[in-house]
Amino acid sequence: MALIVPSRTIVCVRLPRLSPRAYQRITLVALVALVFIIITGASVRLTGSGLGCSDWPTCEENSLVAPLEYHAMIEFVNRLITGVVSAAVIVAVLGSLVRQPRRLDLTWWSLGLVAGVIGQIVLGGLTVLFELHPPFVIAHFLLSLVLVWNAVVLHQRGRYASVPSLPVVAPRVRTLSRVLVLAATAVIVSGTIVTGTGPHGGDETVDRLTFSLDAVARIHSAAVWIFLALTIVTLVILRKTGAPASVDRHARLLVGAIVLQGAIGYLQFFTGVPPWLVILHVFGSVVIWMTVLGFHLSLRARPLESSIESPTEQTVPV
């Protein structure tokens, strides 16, 4: 009697192949989404809606959705935007897995965004539960800038081939670049102390930091002037050492951003800190952070990764 053995069937799943150029667009969307939620989060605080939803993860104790009230809806919409950011980050991770050529470094950087967003969700909940206590609000903003740094690096690395980079400027410029990143960090941190001390805490009942507003504002202003002076010194050295035009352009953009941001800062201080100027100042701080990071990353060069103009499909057995 013959023994019949059923043949084995191999099922194939067709996976898309994503070109480097397409993946760069995905990382740009994630970066824009992260910047956007910083601005909307600041808007929540500046409209006094920080406790519009007084509970977390629900809006109120027994309600996931906010009631049709001004402050509650503003806070609730900002929470919904967190979902949009989370989706953009997830797409960045999935895109790194089907990108051709696939790069492990891009996958790890995209997973860094996931970890940061999870941290932001938890920290945002603690901020609400501790009724907008300034240290939590400050930490929430600073973690947002860490996420922006992660997204900037991911977007930048996706443009270039995975090969060792080569410096395009003198060693002292690279050293100054690291100093500029530290100076920018000092400016931003001191700025959050000013914010935590001043008005616009997100709700009228919120306690503020007990520092003298004039004192912390002067410290912040001094940090900005030092940052600007260091940037100008760096620009002068770049001109003397014959740096590439792209690096010089990054430095000039940084000088311009610092000057404009400083002007907005002085204007808001002498006009009683109106909310619309604070929004501009928050956006300016993000722009400066991205600009100083862009300058730092421009000091080393890699060849552009050849893109796949027409993404095709690949099959894998499962």
Confidence label for 96 from pLDDT (cuts 50, 70 and 90)? very high
Q: What is the DSSP letter of 63?
A: B
The model's pLDDT over 105-114, given as tens digits with 9 standing for 90+, comes to 999 999 999 9
Beta carbons within 10 angstroms of residue 108's beta carbon: 11
For the chain, report the end-to-end CA distance as a whole number of angstroms.
34
Q: Which residue has the higher pLDDT, 117 or 5?
A: 117
Q: Give the separation between CA 226 and CA 232, rounded to whole angstroms.
A: 10
Confidence label for 221 from pLDDT (cuts 50, 70 and 90)? very high
Report the pLDDT averaged over residues 281-299.
95
Q: What is the pLDDT of residue 315?
A: 33
Q: What is the pLDDT of residue 3?
A: 53
Confidence label for 101 from pLDDT (cuts 50, 70 and 90)? confident
**For residue 1, pLDDT beyond 60:** no
Q: What is the pLDDT of residue 307?
A: 41
79 CB-near residues (< 8 Å, 6+ apart): 53, 59
Q: Is 126 exposed, middle or buried (0-12, 13-18, 19+ CB in 10 A)?
A: middle
Query: What integer best gives the mean pLDDT of the chain?
Result: 87
pTM: 0.88
Give the DSSP H or E segment for 78: helix 70-98
The model's pLDDT over 127-165, given as tens digits with 9 standing for 90+, comes to 988 888 999 999 999 999 999 999 999 999 988 877 788
Enumerate the domain spans of the chain.
Answer: 14-162, 165-304
Pair type for strands 300-301 and 166-167: antiparallel
125 CB-near residues (< 8 Å, 6+ apart): 56, 57
The model's pLDDT over 56-83, given as tens digits with 9 standing for 90+, comes to 888 887 788 888 888 889 988 988 999 9
In the block, tokens 């940061």 appear at: 116
Q: What is the pLDDT of residue 13?
A: 56
Percent of the chain's residues with pLDDT above 70: 91
Q: What is the DSSP letter of 282?
A: H
